[in-house]
Amino acid sequence: MVTFFGAIILLLCGYVFYSKFVERVFVVNDNTPTPAYAKRDNLDFVPMSWWKGNLIQLLNIAGLGPIYGAVAGALYGPVAFVWIVFGCIFAGAVHDYFSGMMSIRHQGAQFPTLVGHYLGKSVKVFINVISLVLMILVAAAFTAGPAQLIAQITPLSFMAALLIIFGYFVLATILPINRIIGRIYPLLGGILLIMAIAIGISLIFSDKQIPNLTFENLHPGELPIWPLLMVTISCGAISGFHSTQSPIVACTMKKETDGRKIFYGAMVIEGVIALIWAAAGMTFFNGTSGLQEALAAGGPSGVVNEISTTLLGTIGGILAIFGVIILPITTGDTALRSSRMILTDVLAKFFKMDNKWKILLVTIPVSIPALFLATIDYTFLWRYVGWTNQVVASVMLWTATMYLLKSHKFHWICGIPALFMTGVVCTYIFFAPEGLSMPYQQSMVIGFSLTLLVTFWYIKQIIKYRRLKIDEPKEHVA
């Protein structure tokens, strides 16, 4: 239990101290009008208070991610606490902060546009495709589960529930952000946090002991910690999906100093939620073997429901059903909204989004494949969400690194986590079943070699921009 409390304290210290350091490196300026005012269109660009932005961001990036992912990651044992804490403070929260603040500096630009500006057009084309694929996969994966549960507890069929959910998705995607998202998301974000805190308090006062830190791999299936843990627990540590969501809230910010509270703050809150559910997963079922059996019997939804109803009684059961239905839906709708905004950026050269029919037209190409994919196996979808998610995270960190290099700022705060995540995804792609399914040792060698090549490229960029910095005064004098 000491490890659990220590992890919570470290996360809070990360927000109090490291977030301020990150903000100083970025250099905020409240005298510059934010896109919410400069480009106000009462659709995507609408000024909102920071606390609303924080809770909307929390719900956008969280949903069931820090619950399901943390429960699955708990199979590895207390080492999951280490990844959540250090991943969140030094990678995930930094990733989210820069994806939001760089969007503000580029007038509300979406993630692929930022990538194109700092990593080149060819990378932008790649990331446009993979971002849209990720959004579609997330919308599909976070719709199938709720639709199945609705079909179980109501007279509605699975397909009827699916169509109702997607009907809501379309409305949330084309209506102004302050109509639905701005009104109900702060409330739902608060409920998500309250649910996690209630579980945490109940767990502490139960007769079960939260295990203390050990770096031993306790996974019953003997799956390796590296790189699988870093992909299994993404929400709560670092998730590329967040880089597609941060620009949504960036378009509503009143001033730049709100960014630390909104982006870094929401990620730390998500880290706390992930810690609580990871602790619940590895404690409630008397170890990782018991957790694996529970997951095999009822899946993550069954695990969440059993923990909630046992620790919180009837209220817990209601919250569990609410969470499994509502929370993923609120992630799916913003995934499609983000897809629509990305496509709008791509198509901006050809026509303006000056009426709701055009907005609806852009929404259809991402809604139809998401609806189709929602009808297939959830676990299959989730495997590919994990892979594409962390590829996007790596690209966003490299984008932020190049932004800092070009600005002659302290680039290491993004560059080091970017290298770490590059190693994760390079190894994972070769080892994972949804990748090339190569032997572990071979995957490690190839993953390390590719990361080494990227490291050489990074060093080359550092040398390049140091020379440019030295030459700048001479050019100015000339």
Position 150 scores a pLDDT of 78
- Tokens describing residue 147: 């639709």
User: How many residues appear in the chain?
Assistant: 478
Position 264 scores a pLDDT of 97
pLDDT tens profile 277-293: 999 999 999 889 999 99
Position 85 scores a pLDDT of 97
Position 187 scores a pLDDT of 79
Show the domains of the chain with their CATH numbers: 2-378 (1.20.1740.10)
Q: Following CA atoms 142, 151, 160, 169 in sequence, which dihedral angle do they give, to the nearest 10 degrees?
A: -30
Position 475 scores a pLDDT of 46
Q: Are 378 and 143 in contact (CB under 8 A)?
A: no
- Greatest alpha-carbon span in the chain: 78
Position 348 scores a pLDDT of 61
Query: Which residue type is seen at 439?
Result: P
Position 197 scores a pLDDT of 85
Q: Following CA atoms 444, 94, 214, 274 in sequence, which dihedral angle do they give, to the nearest 10 degrees?
A: -110
- Tokens describing residue 323: 């969470």
Position 351 scores a pLDDT of 59
Tell me how far apart the alpha carbons of residues 118 and 415 are, in angstroms, rounded to a whole number.
14
- Tokens describing residue 365: 């190409």
Q: How far is CA 84 from the centre of its chain?
A: 13
The kind and range of the H/E element at 318 are helix 288-347
Listed in sequence order, the residues at least 6 apart from 403 whose beta carbon sits closer than 8 Å to its beta carbon are: 98, 102, 118
Position 31 scores a pLDDT of 92
Position 476 scores a pLDDT of 44
- Provide the whole-model pTM: 0.89
What stretches in the chain show pLDDT beneath 50? Answer: 475-478
Q: Are 43 and 176 in contact (CB under 8 A)?
A: yes
